[in-house]
Amino acid sequence: MEHYLKQELYELIKSDSKIFDFIQKGSLDGIWYWDLEKPENEWMSEKFWTELGYNPNKMPHKASAWQGIINQDDLNLAIENFNKHCSDPTHPYDQTVRYIHKNGSTVYIRCRGIAIRDDKGKPIRMLGAHTNITEITESKIEIEEINRQLNEKNKELEQFTYLTSHDLQEPLNSIISFSSLLEGNKENLDEIGKKSIEVIVNSSHRMKDFIIALLEYSRIGKQKVKEEVNIIELIKNLKTDLYDIIDKNEASINYIGKPLKIQAFKIDLIKLIQNLIINGIKYTDTETKPKIVIDIKEHTQHYEFSIKDNGIGIAKEHYDKIFEVFQRLHTRNKFSGTGIGLSHCKKVVELHGGEIWLTSEIGKGTTFYFTISK
Ligand code: ADP
């Protein structure tokens, strides 16, 4: 049963043509009605032409009128869809086509239509609508272009970081070996000489740490295909790799989640978890034995990791800052580091379509959370 207002509207349109005029003028669409038995004849509403910059009163109701100003490749696409729609009503006659506006600019039109068929199913008329989607299409094109440029710039930057850090290693290695040589013979130096050589050796080692961290940072995302990662094995291997730091700090690392196997960029994921564990061990008071607890919760669309420590904690006002490159909260005398670790983590998480955040209590500890999409 049709709604009574719809029925009423049908009757009104039949009895009063002004109602139809109102509908076609009020709608955002241009309307067209095509005689498929005499395909040169096509009626087009005013809006059809005003959107293209033409005076509707001066335009003939002929299919040739629009076929002359539509982009010819798009006309071919429309004809192809038209033919398919005529032989198969379920194939939609619906496409975005480009028209040339009277002022020469391009107008993007979404053009849809439905064939009206006789008793035998032969299409005899076609009724359709034109919607001007130029604004949306142009913004989309602009965004795509900006994205393309951004990606290009990002790649250039990564390349630059990689090359400079790679090339810087060589002279730095020379400085390290020669200053270490001098350090080995420092009894021949006076006090100033001894102090200077100590500073050079320390600084050049710190510089090497920076360069290695930068190199690793620029390498993120090199793996193109995800692979299966067995979490239990990953944690076991990490404990072996981190044996020295675990042993020295009397730290414990426990995984309390399920024995999951997940799809991920393995090398990047290892580095991410490793960075968070090392930070959890590093940022503790000397008298505290670090306890790291790792958990993973499985959700429908993603996995949520948590890495909890019993360290010094982080003040709320620093929650965002610490994820930026080179941002550190302590002097290097208290805790050594480059300030790249967490930005590295963030980049890896984003690569996996996830997010990273934390909760923390000063003096009690911090929990870092991150998600990895399935
Ligand atoms: P780095 O450890 O090399 O300084 P990160 O980017 O890994 O660099 O960390 C940035 C800063 O965030 C650190 O300098 C430290 O102040 C703070 N931080 C990171 N992890 C923790 C943690 N688990 N507990 C307390 N502070 C932390």
Read off the pLDDT of each residue in 123-138 and give the average, rounded to a whole number.
Answer: 94
48: its two tokens:
């059809």
Residue 358 Ramachandran class (φ > 0 left, ψ -120 to 50 alpha, else beta):
beta
Whole-angstrom Cα distance, residue 275 to residue 346?
11
Q: Is 365 in the pocket of ligand 1 (CB under 6 A)?
A: no
| pLDDT at res. 67 | 94
Whole-angstrom Cα distance, residue 128 to residue 285?
74
Q: Whose CA is nearest to atom 11 of ligand 1?
A: 328
CA distances to 6, 49, 141 from 19, rounded to whole Å, are 13, 20, 38
Number of DSSP helices (H) and strands (E) in the chain, helices first: 11, 12
- CA geometry: angle 239, 241, 246, nearest 5 deg: 55
pLDDT tens digits, 325-362 = 777 887 766 777 778 899 999 999 999 999 999 999 99
Q: Answer with the residue of higher pLDDT: 234 or 326.
A: 234
DSSP 290: P
**pLDDT tier for residue 364 given thresholds of 50, 70 and 90:** very high
Judged against a pLDDT cut of 80, whether residue 114 lies above it is answered with yes
Q: What is the mean pLDDT of the chain?
A: 92
| pLDDT at res. 164 | 84
Which helix (H) or strand (E) element contains residue 354? Answer: none
| pLDDT at res. 140 | 94
| pLDDT at res. 278 | 95
Longest dimension (CA), the chain: 113
353: its two tokens:
């379509």
| pLDDT at res. 273 | 97
Judged against a pLDDT cut of 90, whether residue 97 lies above it is answered with yes
Read off the pLDDT of each residue in 6-15 and give the average, rounded to a whole number.
Answer: 89
Judged against a pLDDT cut of 80, whether residue 151 lies above it is answered with yes
| pLDDT at res. 98 | 97
Judged against a pLDDT cut of 90, whether residue 237 lies above it is answered with yes
Q: Is 89 in the pocket of ligand 1 (CB under 6 A)?
A: no
Cα torsion at 176, 181, 187, 193 (round to 10°)? Answer: -40
Q: Answer with the residue of higher pLDDT: 203 or 24.
A: 203
> For residue 3, how far is the Cα from the chain centroid?
45
| pLDDT at res. 220 | 79
Judged against a pLDDT cut of 80, whether residue 65 lies above it is answered with yes
Neighbours of 218 (CB within 10 A): 20
Whole-angstrom Cα distance, residue 75 to residue 167?
55
Q: Is 330 in the pocket of ligand 1 (CB under 6 A)?
A: yes
Point out which residues pair with 112 in neighbouring strands. 94, 129
Q: What's the Rg (C-alpha) of the chain?
A: 34
Neighbours of 145 (CB within 10 A): 10
pLDDT tens digits, 176-186 = 999 999 998 88
Residue 25 Ramachandran class (φ > 0 left, ψ -120 to 50 alpha, else beta):
alpha
Judged against a pLDDT cut of 90, whether residue 314 lies above it is answered with yes
| pLDDT at res. 214 | 83
Token pair 């009690």: residue: 364
Pocket mutation for ligand 1, best pick of 217, 253, 335, 342 (most atoms within 8 Å of C-beta): 342
Point out which residues pair with 34 in neighbouring strands. 42, 126
Nearest to 374 by CA among 271, 304, 307: 304
Pocket mutation for ligand 1, best pick of 220, 283, 332, 349 (most atoms within 8 Å of C-beta): 283
Read off the pLDDT of each residue in 259-272 and give the average, rounded to a whole number.
Answer: 93
Judged against a pLDDT cut of 90, whether residue 217 lies above it is answered with no
**pLDDT tier for residue 257 given thresholds of 50, 70 and 90:** very high
Give me the helix-helix angle, 17-26 and 4-15, nearest 10°.
110
pTM, 2 dp: 0.60
112: its two tokens:
């849809």
338: its two tokens:
């480059």
